[in-house]
Structure 1
Amino acid sequence: MTGRNLEHLLKPASVALIGASDQPSSLGAAILRNLQDAAFAGPIMPVNPKYTEVSGLGCYANVAGLPAAPDLAVLVTPPDTVPGIIAALGERGCKAVVVISAGFAENAMGAGPALQQAMLDAARPHMLRIVGPNCLGVISPGHRLDATFAPIGAKPGTLALVSQSGAIMTGILDWASVRNIGFSHLVSVGAMADVDFGDLLDYLAQDAGTASILLYVEALTHARKFMSAARAASRHKPVIVLKAGRHPEGARAVASHTGALAGVDAVYSAAFRRAGMLRVGTLREMFDAAELLGRVAPLRGDRLAILSNGGGFGVLATDALMEEGGRLADLAPATIRALDEVLPSCWSHGNPVDILGDASGQRYGDALAALLKDPHIDAVLALHCPTALTTPIEAARSVAVTAKRSRVPLMACWVGDSPQVAEGRHHLETEGVPAYGTPGDAVTAFMHLVRYGDSRRALMETPPSVPEQVTPDRGAVRAVIDRALAEERSWLGEAEAKAVFAAYGIPVATTRIASGVDEAVAAAKEIGFPVALKIVSHDIVHKSEVGGVVLGLGDEGQVRNAAAAMLARIAGAAPDAAVENFSVQPMIRRPHSWELIVGATEDPQFGPVILFGQGGTSANVVADRALALPPLNMRLAHDLMAQTRVHRLLQGYRDCPPADLYSIAVTLIKVAQLVIDMAEIVELDINPLLVDSQGVIALDGRIRVAPTALPAERRLAIRPYPCELEEEIELADGRQLLLRPIRPEDEQALIAAFRKLSPEAVRLRFFAPVKELTHETAASFTQIDYDRQMALVLADREVAETAQIYAVGRLSADPDNIEAEFALTVRDDMTGMGLGMLLMRRLIEHARRRGIGMIVGHVLRENKAMLGICRLLGFEERPDPDDPAIRIVRLHV
C-alpha cells in the first residue's frame, strides 16, 4: 500500500492511546501529556486495564471497550502484545496505528521478525496502516495533534518532515523552535514495517498545507515505490533530503540501528538526482535550502554576480563558488558602463564587483540596480563587511529596496556577529532577502538553487530521440549467458563478453583466441603488427595485475617471447589459475583519444546501476566516475557524462578535437538496455572504451553473471519502457501503424497532434477550451511513470522527429493500484475507424495484467461516442452528483 488511509494518521478525528499511564517517567504518560498539551480537538481515549482514569480522562480496559473506533491508535505496549492489539483495532474499524514499541525486526536475533510479520498480517485484512515500530510518533501542528514523546512541540507551518530517526526529529524540533520554523506534519517512520518514505511522499505531494518536504534518510525500502513517489512529488514541490551513512563506517552504524542495509552512498545520490530531489549535507543546509526555495524565484541559469564592499570577501565567495562547481557571470559591456557611472574609478571592473570599503547605502543600491538589469546574470550575492564609513543597516535597507524592483534572485551575506550586523541581516530577512553570516554559507545556498533548478528542469526536459535504432540480438546473448551458467562459471571470457557487446551494437576490437604460443604468433601475423597479447583465464579477472597483458608487440619474435614470459609470470603470481588461451588483437592507436570506462553493477537497494568515468589501468586510482539508474535516454546519458572531470577534456582543448560525445551517449544507452534485458548480468565493465572524434571502440571488457529467478524488469528501481506492449496495427485503408507506449521523446509529436484537434474535440477531452499544450503539460503527458501510468499511442511505425501521433489512450492509477482513471483522444481525421474501441480494449487488458481493480472515467453527457464505447464494454454509468453535465463510468476489472 502507499497513500491509503494516511489521512487517518495525520488528520485523525479521534485518538486512542494503548498503554496510557499516570507514571510521570513512562512513555504512556509522556504521549498523553503531549496529546493534551497540543489541545487535540477530538476524543482522546486512554486504554490500560490498570486504570479507570488517567490524567483526568476516562480509561478503558481494552480495545473492545472503547466507545467508538478511533481514527488513530498509538501503541506503547510490549512487543508481544502488539499483533493481538492490531487485530482488535482492525476489527473495530481503526485505520491507522503508530507503534512506538521496539523489539521487532530491528532485533533480528530474537522473536522480533516473527512478531513484526504477525503485526502486518493482523493489519492487512483491515487495510490498517502502521507507522513504526520503534519510532517517536507523529505531529500535525495545524491539526493540533502531537502523538509523540518528544520533549518539545512544533509550530504550524508549511514544511513537512519525515525522519527515520526519532532522535534527529527531536533535535530538529528543538532547532526549529528557536528559529520560529513551523511544520505541516512531522512523522518518525522508525523501522518502516509498513508506512515508508514512498507512502508519505505520495500523501504530502497532494497535501495543500505542505509547501516543501524534508526527509532524513538512513536506508530505504521498496526502491521502486520510493522512486515513483519521489519523482511525482518533485514535480509539485521541493523535496530536500539529508542522507546519513555517507561513509562505510556510517553505513555500518545505520545497518545496526535500523536493521536495513544502507546502499552505496553514490547510488543514493544518483537516485535522488534522478528523482529531482535536492540532497544536502547537514541539518542547517536542509532548513536553509527549504527557506531559500520558498522565498526565491527559480533560477534561469547558474551565472552568479558577486557584489562586495570588501575585496577579500569577494575572493572568498569566488573560491567557494569554484569549489562547488559554480560559475561566475561575465558582465555585459552595458553593465560595466553603468557601473562606471555610479562607482569610483578604482572599482574592480569585473566580477566580483568590489565597490570599495567606503561604500554607502546609495552606492550599494546603484551598483545592485545595474547588476540586476544584466541579462547575463542569473542571481546576485550581495556581501557586506563592517566598516567605520557606513552602517550595516543602511546598506541592508538599500539592498532590500533595490531587490524589490527586480525578479532576479538575490542573496545577501552580512559578515559578523555584532548587534549592528545582526540588525542588518534581520532587516534583509524581514524584507524577503535570504541573508547569511559567511560567504561559504551564501554560496552553498546559491548552489542549492542551481542544483534544484537543474533537477526540476531535468524532470520536465524533453530528451532528444536516438536516431540510431539498434535491434539487439538477445538470442545470441542469452546463449552465451546460458552456456556460462551451465558450466558453473561466473565470469564470461573476453571473447564472450565482446560478443555480448557486439550483439547490442557496441563496436568492439577484433579479437582472436589462440590455444598456445604458436597459435598466438599465427594470429598476430594474420591480424598484422603491432598487436596486443592478453591471457585468457576464467580464474583471472584483472589480467594486467598479474602481468597478463602486453601491448605494442611488433613482430613474431616479440609475440613468442611475450607469451612465454607471460605464462611464467602468471605461474608465479597466480599458481592456481588455469590458463586456457591467449587473446590477440590489433594495437589500436588513435591520437587525441581517451580511455573511458562504462560499466554496470547491482545495488542491493536500487538494482542495476550504470557507471561512467575515466578508464584505463588507473581507473580505480583516479576515481573519476559517476552513476545513474537505468533506463537511460540521450539527455540522461549526457547528464551522466557531465558529472565527471573527464567530460571537460572530451569537449576538446587547444589542438585536440572534441570526442564523439554522441557515440558515448549511445553506448551508455545500449549498456543500460543490456542490463535491463538480462537479469543474470550482475557486473559489467568496458575498460577501456576508447573514444576520439571518430567514435568509440571497446578494447576490453568483462561480465559477471549469476542465476536468478527474478524477472529482469523487476530488478529495476525505475520501470523501463514496456516494449512488450508494442503492436502492429493495420487500418481499414491499409495503412500500417504502431500501437505502443508513449515515450518522453514524443512531446513535439503530441503537441502537433493536439493542434490537429477541433475545438469541439478539445472541449470534450479537457472539459474546457484549451488553445495550446504548453511544454510543461506535454512533458507531464509524455514523461510518465510506467509503473503507475500508461499512455498508449497509435503512431507512425518509424521513430523519428516527424512521426505523427493519431490517437492516445491514457490510464492513471492511484499509488495503491486499486483504481485508475482513463482518458481517450482520437484525432478528428481518424474518427470512425474503431480506434477508440481498440485503445480502450488495450487499456482494459493492461489494467487486468497490473491487477488494477477498477477503471473510472468522467465523460461529458454530450460525448455520445465515448459513452457508446463504454456501454459496449460493460461500464456502469451514473450522473456526477457535483455536475449534471458529466457522467461517471466505472468498470470492475
Structure 2
Amino acid sequence: MTIRNLDKMFAPRSIALIGASMRAGSVGNVVLKNLTGGGYGGKIWAVNRRAAEFGGRMCDVDAVASVSDLPAAPDLAVIATPPQGIPDLLAELGSRGTRAAVVITAGFGELGEEGRALQARMLAAARPSLMRIVGPNCLGVMVPGVGLNASFAHIAPLKGNIAFVSQSGAVITAMLDWAATRGIGFSHIVSLGGMADVDFGDMLDHLAQDPQTRSILLYVESIEHARKFMSAGRQAARLKPVMVIKAGRHAAAARAAASHTGALAGSDAVYEAAFQRAGMLRVKGLDDLFEAMETLSTRPERKPLGGERLGILTNGGGLGVLATDFLIEEGGQMAELAPETLAQLDAVLPRTWSRGNPVDIVGDAPAERYAAAIGIMLKDPNTDALLAINCPTAVVDNVAAARAVADAAEKSGKPVFTSWLGDLSARAGREVFLSRLVPTYDTPSQAITAFMHQVRYRQNQRLLMEIPPAGPAWPDRDLSRAREIVGRVLAEEREWLNEPEAKALLSAYGIPAVDTRIAHDGEEAARIAAEIGFPVALKIFSPDITHKTDVGGVALGLESADAVREAAGRMLTMVSAAAPGARIEGFTVQRMVSRPSAFELILGVVDDATFGPVILFGQGGTAVEVIRDKAMALPPLNRVLAEDLIRRTRISRLLEGYRDRPPADFDAIAGTLMALGDLVADLPEVLELDINPLWADHRGVVAVDARIRVRPAVSVGTERLAVRPYPSDLEGVIRDRKGKTYPMRPIKPEDVTLIDDLLAHTDPEDLRMRFLSPLRQLPRQLAARLTQIDYDREMAFVIFTDASMREIAAVGRLSEDPDRERSEYAILVRTDHQGIGLGYTLMQHLINYARMRGVGIVFGHVLRENHHMIDLCAALGFVREHIEGEPGVVEMQLPLRRTA
C-alpha cells in the first residue's frame, strides 16, 4: 500500500481528535489547540468521555463522549489515547468510513514483543477499511497550506513549498524553531514515528505528485521496504530536489565481518549508495540540513546550477584564501577567470586587487565597487556560480553593499551565495538577502557547503538521467556452469566455496582469474607446480582461515619443486601455531602472474539486511581495511554507473596513469563490476564475495584471490535486489496477423538512438496521435526518462523489424501508479509497419503483463479523432470515459480486477 487514502490524511474535510483534553500542557490539549488555531476550514470534533462536563464544547468545537457519538465519519482521526484501546478505536472508525489516522500515542513496536503484538492488532484493525496510519509514537502531521496542524509541536509552521518528513519528532521541533526565525515555510511536515504503515516510500510518492511541494527533506533513521523506497525515491528525485540526513552514521557493525568486503561495507556506506542511486542528496548533520533548507528556500527555480566552477568575491584577502582552501578540501572547483574578465576587473578595481580568483576588491570597497565587480564576474564564461563575502569595516556601508550584490543576483541567471560576516553589524545585510531570496550564510565555509550540496545534487541528477552508451560486449556468462558450482557446494552443506571453485564461478561470468589447483600435501604441491611452471604461489587450503597472510599461509615466488616442498612444511608449522583449531585440507598452487605495473583493487559483494546485495570497489591488498579507499553501489550496474563507482575512489586517479605507468583498462574494470551485478541477480544464493586483489593494468584485469560465501536462497530470482534489474526473462518474440515473428524485449537505455530513428520513420500525423501534439525528436531529458526506466513500476517493450535488432517497429509502454490500481498504456507503431496487426498484438501483450502484475485498470488518453486506436481498444474490451476539461481527449479503460 502506498498513496491510497493519503488525500484524507493531508487534505481532510473533517477531523476528530480522540483523546482531546482541557488539561493544560497535556498532549490532548496541545493537539486540540493546534487543530483549532491553525486556520483549518473543515469540521473538527473533540472526543472525550467527559464531554458532557464541558457542555459539549471544547476549545470552541463540538465535543462528544465517544466515536459512536460522532455525527459523521471524519476523514482523519487523530488519536492521543492509551495504546491498548487503539485497535478497537480504529476498527470502529474504519467501519464508519474513516480512512486516515494519526496515532500520536507511544507504546507499540518500540516496547518489544508485547508492543509489536499490539501494533499488529492495530494494523489488522485498519486493514479491512484500507485506513492509512501515520505513527504510532509520532509528533503528528502539519499541512500549512490547508491550515492543518494535527500535532503537539510548540510552533506552527509557515506556509511554503518545502516538505519535511522525519522519523524523529525532536528533529522536527528543532527545524521549526530554526525556520521560524528565517521566515522559511513548508508544504508538509510529517512525523512518521514508528512507521507501522505510512513510510518514506509512501511519502515520496505522495509528495512527488503534490503541486505545492517544490523540495523534499528527509530525516531517516531506518528504511523498511527498500525496493519501494528506491522506486519512489527515483521517481521523486526526477521531479524535484530530495535531500536526506541519515542518523546513526557510525553505528557499530551488527555482525563480525567474514571478509574484507564485509569489514568495509558498514550500513551507513550502504545507505549512502542507496541515496545516490536514487538521485538524492545526502547531507551529514543538522547544520548541513539547515544550510540545505536555506538554499532550497531561497534558490529561485530559474537559477539551477549550470556547472561546478565557483567564483569568489571578497573585500578581505585572507577570507578569500580560507574559502578557497575549504572549497578544494570539499572537492570543489575554482573558476579560472577568462582573460577578458580579468581585463574588465582591472579597469574598475584598485591597483592592489588580487588579479585572480578569489577576487579581492580590497577592504575599503564601497557598494559601487561590489556592484561593478560582481556584474563582471557573473558574465564570466568560466564561472558557474558566485560567492560574495563581506568583512565588516568602519569605512564602508555593508548594507549598501548587500543591496548591490542582491541587485546583481536578481539580474543574473547564475546562482549567487553570500556570507556577510559578523553578528550585530551583519544582521541588516543578511536581512537584505533574505528579503530578496538570495542565499546567505554566517560563514564562507557554510556557504561553500551549500554550494557543494548543489554540485553533488547536480552530479546525482546527471547520473540519474544519464543515457549509458552501449559499450563493448562482455563475454556471455555460463549460467548453467555457475549454478552447478553453487549447487554442488550447497549440496555438500558448505558455506564457502574453495578458491578454485570461487575462481571457476568468476570465470563463468567472464572475469579472468589465475589458474588455481588443489594439492593435498607438499609433495603433490611440488608436482603441480612443476606442471604449471615456475614461479608459483603456494597458499594454505583451509575452510576456517579467512585471511591467509595473517597466519603465514602464503608463500610467493617459489622457483623450484624443492622450494615448494620446503615452503609447505614451514607453512604447516606456522599455521598450526597461529590457528591451532583450523582444519587444514592441503594447499592451493597457482602460477605467479607477472604484472609489475598492475594496480591492486578490491571488488566485492555483501548482502545488506535492508537493501540486499551491494557492490564494493576500492584499493585492494592486505591493508585494505586500513586504507579504506572504497565506494559502494547498488546493483544492477550499467557502464555509466560502474564508471561512476570507480571514480568515487582515490585510486581512480592513479588508474588514469602517471609518469611511466600506463592507464589501466577502465572498460575491463567496469565490465567486471557489471559482471558482479549479473552474478548476484542470477544467483540469490551468493551472500558474500571478495576479489582481493584484482590486478588491473593496461592489458586488462585478472582475479588473483577470491572468496565466495553462499547459503540456500531465501528469495526468488531478483526479489532481494533493491533496484529491479533488466528483466531478461521477458524477452521473446511477437507475431503479426500473418504469423511473421519479430524479436521483442524490454527497453534498454541504449535504445535511445533507435527511438529517435523510430520517430524519424513515423508519419507526423501518427506522432501527433501518440503524443497528443506534433513531435519529431525527443528532448534528451525525455529520451532518458523513457528509456532508462524503473522496471519495477514501468515497463516498455520494443519490437524490432528483424533479427538484427537495429530498427524498432513498435514500442508499447505501461506506467503503474504506486498502488497498482491504474496503469497507463501508450503504444507507437512505425508507419510502414501499420496495418499488419502489430499494434493489436502489442496491446494484448501489455494487457497480459498488467494482469500478471495485479493491476486494477489499464487506461490510456486518446484523441477523439484517433478512431483507429479507439476501435482497437473497443475490440479488446476497453470502455470510453469522459475526461473533465479535456473535450478533445477520451480515456479508454479496461478493468482487470475489481478495485476496492
Query: In which range does the TM-score fall when normalised by the shorter chain?
Result: over 0.9
- SS of 1:178's partner is helix
- For the structure 1 residues 630 and 614, does the alpha-carbon distance in structure 2 shift closer, same or farther, using more than 3 Å as the test? same
- For the structure 1 residues 753 and 291, does the alpha-carbon distance in structure 2 shift closer, same or farther, using more than 3 Å as the test? farther
- SS of 2:846's partner is helix
Deviates more, 1:356-365 or 1:543-552: 356-365
Which residue does 1:129 correspond to in 2?
132
- What letter matches 1:482 in structure 2? G
- What letter matches 2:270 in structure 1? V
State, as a whole percentage, how many aligned pairs show the same letter: 53
For residues 25 and 427 of structure 1, the distance between their equivalents in structure 2, rounded to whole angstroms, comes to 38
For residues 171 and 799 of structure 1, the distance between their equivalents in structure 2, rounded to whole angstroms, comes to 61
Among 412, 417, 420, the alignment partner of 1:414 is 420
Mapping of residues 776-791 of structure 1, within 5 Å: 776-791=781-796
Which residue does 2:875 correspond to in 1?
872
- SS of 1:463's partner is coil
Among 287, 294, 313, the alignment partner of 2:290 is 287
CA shift for structure 1 position 730: 6.0
Mapping of residues 625-640 of structure 1, within 5 Å: 625-640=630-645
For residues 742 and 351 of structure 1, the distance between their equivalents in structure 2, rounded to whole angstroms, comes to 47
Which residue does 1:327 correspond to in 2?
333
CA shift for structure 1 position 879: 4.2
Q: Does 1:765 align with 2:783?
A: no
CA shift for structure 1 position 808: 0.8
Mapping of residues 127-276 of structure 1, within 5 Å: 127-248=130-251, 264-276=267-279
For residues 151 and 388 of structure 1, the distance between their equivalents in structure 2, rounded to whole angstroms, comes to 41
Task: Give deviations 1:349-393, integer Å, cap 9, x for gaps.
Answer: 332222333333333333323322222221121222123443322
- SS of 1:847's partner is helix
Q: Does 1:349 align with 2:359?
A: no
Which residue does 2:826 correspond to in 1?
823
Q: Does 1:598 align with 2:603?
A: yes
Task: Give deviations 1:481-512, integer Å, cap 9, x for gaps.
Answer: 11111211111100000011000011111222
Q: Does 1:646 align with 2:646?
A: no
Task: Give deviations 1:780-820, integer Å, cap 9, x for gaps.
Answer: 111211111111111367798xx322211111111011211
For residues 623 and 755 of structure 1, the distance between their equivalents in structure 2, rounded to whole angstroms, comes to 50
For residues 870 and 216 of structure 1, the distance between their equivalents in structure 2, rounded to whole angstroms, comes to 46
- For the structure 1 residues 27 and 251, does the alpha-carbon distance in structure 2 shift closer, same or farther, using more than 3 Å as the test? farther
- SS of 1:94's partner is coil
CA contact (8 A) 2:548 2:554 kept: yes
- What letter matches 1:329 in structure 2? A
CA shift for structure 1 position 287: 3.4
Among 507, 519, 522, the alignment partner of 1:517 is 522
- What letter matches 2:144 in structure 1? P
For residues 251 and 561 of structure 1, the distance between their equivalents in structure 2, rounded to whole angstroms, comes to 42
Which residue does 1:394 correspond to in 2?
400
- SS of 2:510's partner is coil
- What letter matches 1:648 in structure 2? R
CA contact (8 A) 1:244 1:250 kept: no
CA shift for structure 1 position 250: 11
Which residue does 1:459 correspond to in 2?
464
- For the structure 1 residues 266 and 411, does the alpha-carbon distance in structure 2 shift closer, same or farther, using more than 3 Å as the test? same
Mapping of residues 432-443 of structure 1, within 5 Å: 432-443=437-448
Which residue does 2:98 correspond to in 1?
94
Which residue does 1:33 correspond to in 2?
33
CA shift for structure 1 position 714: 0.9
For residues 210 and 55 of structure 1, the distance between their equivalents in structure 2, rounded to whole angstroms, comes to 31
Among 70, 85, 88, the alignment partner of 1:84 is 88
- SS of 2:72's partner is coil
- SS of 1:715's partner is coil
- What letter matches 1:561 in structure 2? E
- What letter matches 1:7 in structure 2? D
For residues 781 and 750 of structure 1, the distance between their equivalents in structure 2, rounded to whole angstroms, comes to 9
CA shift for structure 1 position 597: 0.4
CA shift for structure 1 position 736: 6.0
CA contact (8 A) 1:219 1:263 kept: no
Q: Does 1:559 align with 2:574?
A: no
- For the structure 1 residues 429 and 137, does the alpha-carbon distance in structure 2 shift closer, same or farther, using more than 3 Å as the test? closer
Which residue does 1:448 correspond to in 2?
453
- What letter matches 2:775 in structure 1? V
Q: Does 1:19 align with 2:19?
A: yes
CA shift for structure 1 position 55: 3.2
- What letter matches 2:64 in structure 1? Y
- What letter matches 2:750 in structure 1? E
Task: Give deviations 1:553-574, integer Å, cap 9, x for gaps.
Answer: 1222221111111111111111
- What letter matches 1:434 in structure 2? P
Which residue does 1:255 correspond to in 2?
none
Task: Give deviations 1:630-652, integer Å, cap 9, x for gaps.
Answer: 11111111111111111111111
Q: Does 1:672 align with 2:692?
A: no
How many residues are paired up?
A: 880
CA shift for structure 1 position 282: 2.7
For residues 45 and 608 of structure 1, the distance between their equivalents in structure 2, rounded to whole angstroms, comes to 49
Q: Does 1:754 align with 2:740?
A: no
CA shift for structure 1 position 731: 6.0
Which residue does 1:578 correspond to in 2?
583
CA contact (8 A) 2:474 2:510 kept: no
For residues 366 and 19 of structure 1, the distance between their equivalents in structure 2, rounded to whole angstroms, comes to 63
CA contact (8 A) 1:309 1:355 kept: yes
- For the structure 1 residues 633 and 870, does the alpha-carbon distance in structure 2 shift closer, same or farther, using more than 3 Å as the test? same
Among 675, 683, 686, the alignment partner of 2:691 is 686
Deviates more, 1:804-813 or 1:371-380: 371-380
- SS of 1:106's partner is helix
- For the structure 1 residues 343 and 56, does the alpha-carbon distance in structure 2 shift closer, same or farther, using more than 3 Å as the test? closer
CA shift for structure 1 position 402: 3.0
CA shift for structure 1 position 735: 7.5
CA shift for structure 1 position 159: 1.2
- For the structure 1 residues 250 and 446, does the alpha-carbon distance in structure 2 shift closer, same or farther, using more than 3 Å as the test? farther
CA shift for structure 1 position 729: 4.2
- For the structure 1 residues 367 and 112, does the alpha-carbon distance in structure 2 shift closer, same or farther, using more than 3 Å as the test? same
Q: Does 1:485 align with 2:486?
A: no
For residues 355 and 587 of structure 2, the distance between their equivalents in structure 1, rounded to whole angstroms, comes to 65
- What letter matches 2:315 in structure 1? N
- What letter matches 1:353 in structure 2? V
Measured on the aligned residues, the alpha-carbon RMSD in Å equals 2.0
- For the structure 1 residues 402 and 878, does the alpha-carbon distance in structure 2 shift closer, same or farther, using more than 3 Å as the test? closer
For residues 407 and 878 of structure 2, the distance between their equivalents in structure 1, rounded to whole angstroms, comes to 61
CA shift for structure 1 position 542: 1.5
For residues 624 and 486 of structure 2, the distance between their equivalents in structure 1, rounded to whole angstroms, comes to 27
Mapping of residues 723-738 of structure 1, within 5 Å: 723-729=728-734, 737-738=742-743
CA shift for structure 1 position 575: 1.8
For residues 505 and 803 of structure 2, the distance between their equivalents in structure 1, rounded to whole angstroms, comes to 26
Mapping of residues 807-846 of structure 1, within 5 Å: 807-846=810-849
Which residue does 1:119 correspond to in 2?
122
Mapping of residues 710-729 of structure 1, within 5 Å: 710-729=715-734
CA contact (8 A) 2:694 2:702 kept: yes
Taking structure 1 as the reference length, the TM-score comes to 0.95
- SS of 2:7's partner is helix
For residues 594 and 708 of structure 2, the distance between their equivalents in structure 1, rounded to whole angstroms, comes to 25
Task: Give deviations 1:676-700, integer Å, cap 9, x for gaps.
Answer: 1111111101110100111111111
- For the structure 1 residues 832 and 221, does the alpha-carbon distance in structure 2 shift closer, same or farther, using more than 3 Å as the test? same
Task: Give deviations 1:149-201, integer Å, cap 9, x for gaps.
Answer: 11221111111111101121122212222222111111111101101111111
For residues 760 and 68 of structure 2, the distance between their equivalents in structure 1, rounded to whole angstroms, comes to 62
Task: Give deviations 1:517-575, integer Å, cap 9, x for gaps.
Answer: 12211222222221111111112121111111111112222211111111111111112
Q: Does 1:318 align with 2:321?
A: no
For residues 137 and 734 of structure 1, the distance between their equivalents in structure 2, rounded to whole angstroms, comes to 60
For residues 594 and 796 of structure 1, the distance between their equivalents in structure 2, rounded to whole angstroms, comes to 45
Among 617, 622, 628, the alignment partner of 1:623 is 628
For residues 552 and 734 of structure 1, the distance between their equivalents in structure 2, rounded to whole angstroms, comes to 64
